[in-house]
Amino acid sequence: MRARVRLLQVLLLLFLVLGWEFSVRLGWVDAFFFSKPSDIAARIAEWFQTGEIYGHLWITLWETLLAFVIGTVFGVVMGLWLALAPTASAVLDPFIKAMNSIPRVILAPIFTLWFGLGVASKVALGVTLVFFVAFFNTYQGIKEVNPVVLANARMLGASGRELLKHVYLPSAASWIFSSLRTSIGFAVIGAVVGEYLGAAKGLGYLISQAEGVFDTTGVFAGMVVLAVFVVLLDWAVSRVEARLLVWRPEPGREGGTV
Amino acid sequence: MREDASAPAIQLLGVSQRFGDYVAIQGVNLEARAGEFVAIVGPTGCGKSTLLNIVAGLRPPAEGEVRIFGEALTGLNRQAGYLFQADSLFPWKTALENVMLGLLLRRVHEREARERARIWLAKVGLAGFEDHYPHQLSGGMKKRVALAQVLILRPKILLMDEPFGALDVQTRQLMENELLALWQEDRKTVLFVTHDLEEAIALADRVVVFSAGPASRIVGDFQVELPRPRDVAEVRLTEDFLKIHREIWSLLREEVMRAHAR
Ligand SMILES: Nc1ncnc2c1ncn2[C@@H]1O[C@H](COP(=O)(O)OP(=O)(O)OP(=O)(O)O)[C@@H](O)[C@H]1O
Ligand SMILES: [Mg+2]
């Protein structure tokens, strides 16, 4: 089953890549607008051979991780707090919804103004994205705590911090982890969009430079590197998730007993 | 803590509970002596779990008073262990960690807690399942872990809400006998909720019958004078058992019919 799916995936990829390559070679589409896979591959190889790409990759990775960690920590803490303090939550609710409705791209120039062209403005942009994902998921996770398990913990003698440690946090963990997967993507978006709109380094900057000179090969090559970069990060997060949530039944594997 | 040894372990005085406009139980007076095994039966939805929650201190009654060993109950009932009707294990903890938790919360050293939890798991027949997570255990095994989780803390009062409801007959009788054996060791006060009258009689010293809701109350209170130690399977075949069963059933059947008619 798994092998079959893999095989089909590889075939689909081959079909798309070869289709693209030959459409360009046969002159059906214009290489100026669409580049072609062989050129893109060559460009990527060149970037890695000259080592030109590493500086950009590194800076984007750094911005992504900072935004991811800061946004997640803030989001989880706020989520915990508001889920456990109904008054604060009621008061802040409209503010949070209002802030979340702002399209973040609009903030990018302001952050550049505030924090300059360096890493800080990209991290700030990423944080505004990551924060809400972590916040809403944590909040939801805490609200969905099984009341019977909670009552059981209290009967066994848990209170305050102990409830947090033994019930709320582990119960919210699967929500928080599913938020991590989404968050890492958002952190990348924050970093790359920030770089794209104004920076001196990073994958976003690389792509915007290529666009500036109508170098479609460069644009596509940048996109491919970015996609692989995100897939690798996502894979790393899911590995951590699998290790920390061993207690969960595998979804779909068993019906579970009552 | 001021504790009166002669006072009843549990005393409910005119206890009522409401959920919004719905009156679940009304004017319930119930006493359980220290060491007494009291079974509570009644049609579904009559308020048995509601009653246990009140005695556990999880939800204070709308009216009336609860006294535990003579003392008015405020907040959680620290003398009571509660076996919930629904699944109550911590899914993110192994069987062993589940059983240890109460001890850790009482500041028992990790090593000692682990050892004692191991012994209790063995006591409920789950040696070798220490590292299993709840989703890897069968329904009956989960109930055993929950039982060990509660009993390891040696509560003076044990509240049990249909603990064996979901089990097949054989496992059920096995666990009932185990429960009786464990209870025989230190004679806790037990409130045992069930909708199975035979189970109630086989286990208890007293069977209390609740009327159909709303505003459910106690309509019958029967002593069960069967000799102990009992074997739950054998005791069911005795003449005395059948006699008391007939007696209680005639009352309970009415209530069940009334609940059904609604
Ligand atoms: N939290 C709640 N909110 C509203 N109504 C409730 C709540 N808890 C219980 N009830 C109502 O109170 C009544 C008694 O419920 P309870 O769970 O105590 O019944 P029970 O005797 O334990 O039933 P069963 O034998 O099916 O477990 C029911 O009619 C139920 O709908
Ligand atoms: Mg119930």
Domains of chain B: 1-79+187-262 (3.40.50.300)
> Residues 6 or more apart from B175 whose CB is under 8 A from it?
B140, B143, B144, B163, B164, B167
Length of chain A: 258
Q: Is A161 exposed, middle or buried (0-12, 13-18, 19+ CB in 10 A)?
A: exposed
What pLDDT, on a 0 to 100 scale, did the predictor assign at position B4?
Answer: 60
Which residue of chain A is at minimal alpha-carbon distance from B167? A258
Quote the tokens at residue B160: 């049990």
The percent of residues above 70 in pLDDT, for chain B, comes to: 98
Q: What is the pLDDT of residues A101-159, one digit of tens each?
A: 888 888 888 888 899 888 899 999 999 999 999 999 999 989 889 999 999 999 999 98
Q: Which residue, by CA, sits nearest to atom 1 of ligand 1?
A: B19
> Residues 6 or more apart from A11 whose CB is under 8 A from it?
none
Q: What is the mean pLDDT of residues B46-74?
A: 92
DSSP conformation letters of A137-206? HHHHHHHT--HHHHHHHHHTT--THHHIIIIIHHHHHHHHHHHHHHHHHHHHHHHHHHHHHS-SSSHHHH
Question: Which residues have C-beta atoms less than 6 Å from ligand 1?
Answer: B 19, 22, 24, 42, 44-50, 85, 195, 213
A35 φ, ψ (degrees, to nearest 5): 50, -160
Q: Which atom of ligand 1 is nearest to the CA of B213?
A: 29
Quote the tokens at residue A85: 């303090």
Question: Which amino acid, residue B91?
Answer: P
Q: Are strands B206-210 and B218-223 parallel, antiparallel or unpaired?
A: antiparallel
* Strand blocks (E) in chain B: 10-19, 22-32, 37-41, 63-68, 71-72, 80-83, 157-161, 189-193, 206-210, 218-223
Determine the 3-state secondary structure of B50 from DSSP.
Answer: helix
The residue whose CB lies within 8 Å of the most ligand 1 atoms, and thus the one to mutate among B16, B26, B44, B50, is B50
CA A92 from centroid of its chain's CA atoms: 26
The ligand with the least distance to the CA atom of B25 is: 1
CA A254 from centroid of its chain's CA atoms: 30
From the CA of B19, how far away is ligand 1's center (Å)? 9
Pick the closest to residue A126 from A144, A108, A102 (CA basis): A108
- In terms of C-beta distances under 8 Å and separation of at least 24 residues, what long-range contacts does B62-66 make, across chains too? B62/B16, B62/B17, B62/B18, B63/B14, B63/B15, B63/B16, B64/B12, B64/B13, B64/B14, B64/B15, B64/B16, B64/B27, B64/B28, B65/B12, B65/B13, B65/B14, B65/B15, B66/B10, B66/B11, B66/B12, B66/B13, B66/B15
Distance CA B172, CA B203 (A): 12
Spatial contact of A131 and A71, defined as CB atoms under 8 Å apart: yes
Contacts of B164 in chain A (CB under 8 A): none
**What does the DSSP 8-state code read for residue B35?**
T
Which residue of chain A is at minimal alpha-carbon distance from B146? A152
Check pLDDT > 50 for residue B195.
Answer: yes
Q: How many CB atoms within 10 Å of residue A137?
A: 24
Question: Are B135 and A170 inside 8 Å of each other by CB?
Answer: no
**What does the DSSP 8-state code read for residue B165?**
T
**Domain ranges within chain A, ordered by starting residue:** 55-244
Contacts of B148 in chain A (CB under 8 A): none
**Tally of CA atoms within 13 A in the half-sphere of B109 that contains its CB:** 3
Question: Are B93 and A248 inside 8 Å of each other by CB?
Answer: no
pTM for this prediction: 0.82
A155 touching chain B per CB within 8 A = yes
Q: Which residue, by CA, sits nearest to atom 9 of ligand 1?
A: B50
Q: Which residue, by CA, sits nearest to atom 29 of ligand 1?
A: B45
Question: Are A152 and B80 inside 8 Å of each other by CB?
Answer: no
Q: Is A26 exposed, middle or buried (0-12, 13-18, 19+ CB in 10 A)?
A: exposed
**Residue segments in chain A with a per-residue pLDDT below the cut of 70:** 250-258
From the CA of B252, how far away is ligand 2's center (Å)? 17
ipTM above 0.95, yes or no: no
What pLDDT, on a 0 to 100 scale, did the predictor assign at position B125?
Answer: 86
The ligand with the least distance to the CA atom of B259 is: 1
Q: Which atom of ligand 1 is nearest to the CA of B50?
A: 18
Question: Are A166 and B135 inside 8 Å of each other by CB?
Answer: no
Q: Is B182 exposed, middle or buried (0-12, 13-18, 19+ CB in 10 A)?
A: middle
Q: What is the pLDDT of residues B148-180, one digit of tens each?
A: 999 999 999 999 999 888 778 888 888 899 889
Contacts of A248 in chain B (CB under 8 A): 91, 135
The ligand with the least distance to the CA atom of B210 is: 1
Determine the 3-state secondary structure of B219 from DSSP.
Answer: strand
Distance CA B195, CA B178 (A): 20
Q: B206: which strand partners?
A: B38, B223
Q: What is the mean pLDDT of residues B69-94?
A: 92
Quote the tokens at residue A243: 């290790």
Q: What is the mean pLDDT of residues B228-243?
A: 89
Check pLDDT > 90 for residue B96.
Answer: yes
What pLDDT, on a 0 to 100 scale, did the predictor assign at position B3?
Answer: 57
What pLDDT, on a 0 to 100 scale, did the predictor assign at position B148?
Answer: 92
Q: Which residue, by CA, sits nearest to atom 10 of ligand 1?
A: B19
Hey, what's the torsion of the CAs at B29, B31, B37, B42, to 10 degrees? Answer: 0
User: Which of B53, B90, B144 would best serve as a mutation to test chain A binding (most A beta carbons within 10 A)?
Assistant: B90
Q: Which residue, by CA, sits nearest to atom 14 of ligand 1?
A: B47
Determine the 3-state secondary structure of A76 from DSSP.
Answer: helix
- CB-CB: which of B87, B133, B137 is closest to A148? B87
Domain A55-244 coded CATH 1.10.3720.10: yes
Distance from CA of B224 to the nearest CA of A (A): 30
- CB-CB: which of B80, B81, B101 is closest to A166? B101
